[in-house]
Amino acid sequence: MTSPLIFPGITPRPGGHEFIWKEDGIFLRLERLREHHDSITAEVWVEQGEAREHLIGGLRFNLTTTAGRSGIAKSLAARRNGVDWGGMMEQVCVYALKKFREQAQPVKLGYYPEDADIKFLLRPTIPEGVSTLLFGYGGMAKTTLALAWGLIVQLEEAKLGLVPKQEPIMLLDWETNQDIANRTLIALHAGMGFVGAMPEIIYRRCRRPLLEFIEDVKADVDREGIGLIILDSMGKACGGEKELKENALPTMSALEWLGKTNLIISHRPKGEEGKGRGTYGSIYVENDVRQAFRVEARHMPGEDALHVALFHTKYNLMSPLHPFGYQITWDKVKGTRIEREDVGGMADLQEQLKPETQIENALKEHARMIVKEIAEETTLTVDTVRNTLKRFNGQRFICLGGKPPVWVNLFKGAIPPEEQASLET
């Protein structure tokens, strides 16, 4: 009989631990530890001997009650007597609870790091080691765009003005299936003209909430050396509309536990319930990510392309990026082509831009304009243009004077050298 004083060998596992008592040849695994409002539960699997003969498996019990611990011990005693199952379960539960509740130790801040620059997997859209969110209504090509970014990272080929750091990617897919995802990637690889051969992307078709199989994902991530996880989409990963609010924080915590960079795709609700809101279902998703982009898209009549605009709505780690756009063209022969596009040229997306950005775009096109001309070129009223110019006077715009006053962008080249010099003095 094993003495309770003899502590087992312990090996960490995704979502749990494995305990080994060599003297008795006992192998016990705790998996899928979960915290509930008044308990912590886990699944237990027990084997014995060199052949690892199965004793019990997949039983979920409460680690925090004597009934839960003694119930497992009695089940094991009924299968194999002569072992101190009660003592073993006490060791297992006490250790697992301590590790589960263990928090990171406090550290001191205020030091200057050797490398203070923000690290990116895809500069400047995907910071390394945190979660980035792409959200928008359906039909905005969010998945296509996310997979294009993923290919740039995995192949480490700079495209679309983005600078990648090479990492293998994994797609967690609740929305489509393996065949559709595979065809999308192949079409992007062909249409965007990548030099490297089509890579093998790790793919997992998902049908249950992420929390139910996060340990399996952790094993995949560790085995394949995954650096970027693309999750499509957040609502289904949380379990659907009713479960999203309750499971948003636990799901984000599970992604953080994986310890990798995440690119999360999420939807916006349509209709009246979607006005003034961001991602679907829960503000916790937007609060927990470090970077977020709202995706808007338009299809112009008579064209075979989709015009996509990205608006940088959350930027914890950096200054906000100006809105930027893509033109996406699907071709059965040439593949899916994505090209950079000036958002200012997308007429029906102008209203999505901030007033100062609309004015900047207009002045880039015409260099010098009066208030009335700017209002005609944008979706803004004369009063809004006038107030915005005054607010950013000397910061983003400069008034050259005159009646009516003439305005220019505050950057070299918009103003003749002699006038620039006089303004600087």
pLDDT tens for 17-65 read 999 999 889 999 998 888 888 899 999 999 999 899 999 999 999 999 9
pLDDT at residue 417 in the model: 44
Q: With pLDDT > 70 as the criterion, what percentage of the chain qualifies?
A: 88
Radius of gyration of the chain (CA): 28
Q: Give the model's pLDDT for residue 345.
A: 62
Q: What is the pLDDT of residues 177-228, one digit of tens each?
A: 999 999 999 999 999 999 999 999 999 999 999 988 998 999 999 999 999 9
5 pLDDT tier (thresholds 50, 70, 90): low
- What pLDDT, on a 0 to 100 scale, did the predictor assign at position 420? 42
Tokens read off for 343: 């958002």
Is residue 144 exposed (0-12), middle (13-18) or buried (19+ Cβ within 10 Å)? buried
Output the CA angle 58-203-172, nearest 5 degrees: 70
All structural domains of the chain with their residue ranges: 9-100, 120-347, 354-424
Structure confidence by residue, pLDDT tens digits, 217-272:
999 999 999 999 999 999 999 987 766 767 888 888 889 989 999 999 998 866 54
CATH class of the domain comprising 354-424: mainly alpha
pLDDT reported for residue 121:
96
Angle at alpha carbon of residue 147, lines to 143 and 149, rounded to 5°: 120
Average pLDDT along the chain: 86
The pLDDT of residue 147 is: 97
Q: Which long-range contacts (CB under 8 A, 24 or more apart) does 47-52 make?
A: 48/24, 48/80, 49/25, 50/25, 52/27
Quote the CA–CA distance of 335 and 363 in Å, as a whole number. 36
pLDDT digits (tens, 9 = 90+) for 97-142: 999 888 778 888 887 766 667 899 999 999 999 999 999 888 899 9
The three state secondary structure string of the chain is CCCCCCCCEEEEECCEEEEEECCCCEEEEEEEEEECCCCEEEEEEEEECCCCEEEEEEEEEECCCHHHHHHHHHHHHHHCCCCCHHHHHHHHHHHHHHHHCCCCCCCCCCCCCCCCCCCEEEECCEECCCEEEEEECCCCCHHHHHHHHHHHHHHCCCECCEEECCCCEEEEECCCCHHHHHHHHHHHHHHCCCCCCCCCCEEEECCCCHHHCHHHHHHHHHHHCCCEEEEECHHHHHCCHHHHHHHHHHHHHHHHHHCCEEEEEEECCCCHHHCCCCCCCCHHHHHHCCEEEEEEEEECCCCCEEEEEEEEEEECCCCCCCCEEEEEEEECCCEEEEEEECHHHCHHHHHHCCHHHHHHHHHHHHCCECHHHHHHHCCCCHHHHHHHHHHCECCCEEEEECCCCEEEECCCCCCCHHHHHHHHC
**Global pTM exceeds 0.85:** no
**Average pLDDT in the 158-181 region?**
96
Res 158: pLDDT: 96
Classify domain 120-347 by CATH architecture: 3-Layer(aba) Sandwich (3.40)
Is residue 125 within 8 A of residue 291, CB to CB? The reply is yes
Tens-place pLDDT, residues 281-326: 567 788 889 999 989 888 777 778 899 999 898 888 888 888 899 9
